[in-house]
Chains A and B, each alone.
Chain A
Amino acid sequence: EAEVAQSPRYKITEKSQAVAFWCDPISGHATLYWYRQILGQGPELLVQFQDESVVDDSQLPKDRFSAERLKGVDSTLKIQPAELGDSAMYLCASSFSPEPDNQETQYFGPGTRLLVL
């Protein structure tokens, strides 16, 4: 069964350092999402890609966060510099349609747990 892959699964870093997360969506899925999930809360969308283009990044803290999906397949989310408040689970998801409607199911990866010291 096809899955969304993410790496690393766990990351510990010190504040002010740079950190990067990688996501490989299900093959053929046009839309890719990055979410941040703070402990005890639901996921919050950071950025949504349609193929290689950013469709929505209104919730992405652009002073320190960046995301790219250069070839419209896998994607990288970067934080520089990391802050203590960035400690969270970072989830990647994908869905098939390039223009998902309200029926479109997202399929999630296992996430990357980030701890900033």
Chain B
Amino acid sequence: AQKITQTQPGMFVQEKEAVTLDCTYDTSDQSYGLFWYKQPSSGEMIFLIYQGSYDEQNATEGRYSLNFQKARKSANLVISASQLGDSAMYFCAMREGGRGSYIPTFGRGTSLIVHP
């Protein structure tokens, strides 16, 4: 079973509008971390935002916020005021458990295109 599911292969948004990228996850651990990365066409994965399973408040980083719904096991990324430079692939990832050699797991990604 997929640990990270991103159901939107592609999304389009107009410049200056907000967009939500979906991510659902599957884990039986109580302690886990959720991450979002941006991958432009150049290839580098850029860290955007982190949410811990015990965090009571949704994480925010500038124009990025994470809509964390623990009971639904969802961690959607919200980008406000989209910019043309936001066009890229976006990946949701999870790290499970406590300290140790566990494997970070990534979803298949969502392609976001911001048009003028």
Contacts and interface: CB of A to CB of B under 8 A. Distances in A.
Interface string B69-108: 0000000000000000000000101011111111110111
Contact of A89 (B43, B46, B103, B104): B43
Interface string B41-66: 01111110010110000000000000
Contacts of B97: 102
B44 A111 contact: yes
Range of interface residues on chain A? Answer: 20 to 34
Interface stretch (A18-26, A38-46, A71-79): A38-46
Contact of B106 (A43, A55, A56, A58): A43
A111 B42 CA distance: 9
Contacts of B31: 102
B43 A103 contact: no
B33 A102 contact: yes
A42 B98 contact: no
B68 interface: no
B45 A99 contact: no
Contacts of B44: 108-111
Interface string B18-35: 000000000000011101
Contacts of A56: 101, 103
Range of interface residues on chain B? Answer: 20 to 34
A105 B42 CA distance: 20
Interface in A54-84: 55-56, 58-59
A44 B109 CA distance: 12
Nearest to B94: A102
B86 to A, nearest CB: 18
A1 to B, nearest CB: 12
A28 interface: no
A104 interface: yes
Please list the 10 inter-chain residue pairs (A to B) with the smallest Cβ-Cβ separation, ordered nearest first. Answer: A42-B106, A102-B33, A108-B45, A55-B101, A102-B95, A111-B43, A101-B99, A99-B99, A110-B44, A56-B101
